Amino acid sequence: MNPAQERTAVTVTAETAEQMRALGTRLAGLLRAGDLVLLTGELGAGKTTLTRGLGEGLGVRGAVTSPTFVIARVHPSLAGGPPLVHVDAYRLSGGLDEMEDLDLDVSLPESVVVVEWGEGRVEELAEDRLHVVIERALGGDGSGAVDDAAAGGTDDGAEDVRTVTVTRVGARWADADLSALRA
């Protein structure tokens, strides 16, 4: 593997939905047009909450909610930055072929594209990307472990601890300082 393809990761803990959203806001400060972010995590892990923070950090228009039933939403920038294209690939089974119908390759150069459930489906869209894996502790008393996404609501990052691992892939991210994500 050449240095441009080397993968390095940063791990952050988010104990609340607010901390997950704040992490998204910090991550937005590192993003620019053409960036692809893949989000992986079980239903209710906090993927949409993180994306809501990205939207806040990018200064986009519209409420960032789960695009589960519409597959993709475009949020134009109110701050002169790139639009946020938020995709939920959960219901798509055809991999990149099915994703091509969404014209993400057309949107990518001028947008920040975030794909929930994108791992194994859209990596071919860009050599340079961030993989964000959100894991939460299972078990315990179950307080706050509500799976709103499966019920058609939002993936709101219930109030239990999440471990978020951000892995950078490609030359774009090779020298990126992800330490700001640990704030």
pLDDT for 134-143, tens place per residue? 999 765 444 4
Q: Average pLDDT, stretch 55-82? A: 88
Provide the mean pLDDT of the chain: 81
Q: What is the DSSP pairing of strand 72-75 with strand 36-40?
A: unpaired
Strand ranges for 117-161 from DSSP E: 129-136
165 half-sphere exposure, CB direction, 13 A CA radius:
10
The CA-atom distances, in angstroms, between 55 and each of 20, 25, 62, 112, 122 are: 13, 7, 9, 10, 21
pLDDT at residue 98, as a whole number: 55
pLDDT at residue 72, as a whole number: 81
Locate 62 and state its tokens.
Answer: 């519209």
Looking at per-residue confidence, does 60 or 91 come out higher? 60
Q: What is the pTM of this model?
A: 0.81
pLDDT at 60 over 70: yes
* % of the chain surpassing 70 pLDDT: 74
pLDDT at residue 154, as a whole number: 45
Exposure string for 25-40, b = 16+ CB within 10 A, e = fewer = bbbbebbeeebbbbbb
pLDDT at 35 over 90: yes
pLDDT at 157 over 80: no
Residue 122: pLDDT band (50, 70, 90) is: confident
Whether 112 contacts 54, CB under 8 Å = yes
Residue 52: Cβ within 10 Å count = 25
pLDDT at 8 over 60: yes
The CA-atom distances, in angstroms, between 155 and each of 22, 64, 74, 94, 167 are: 15, 11, 18, 23, 22
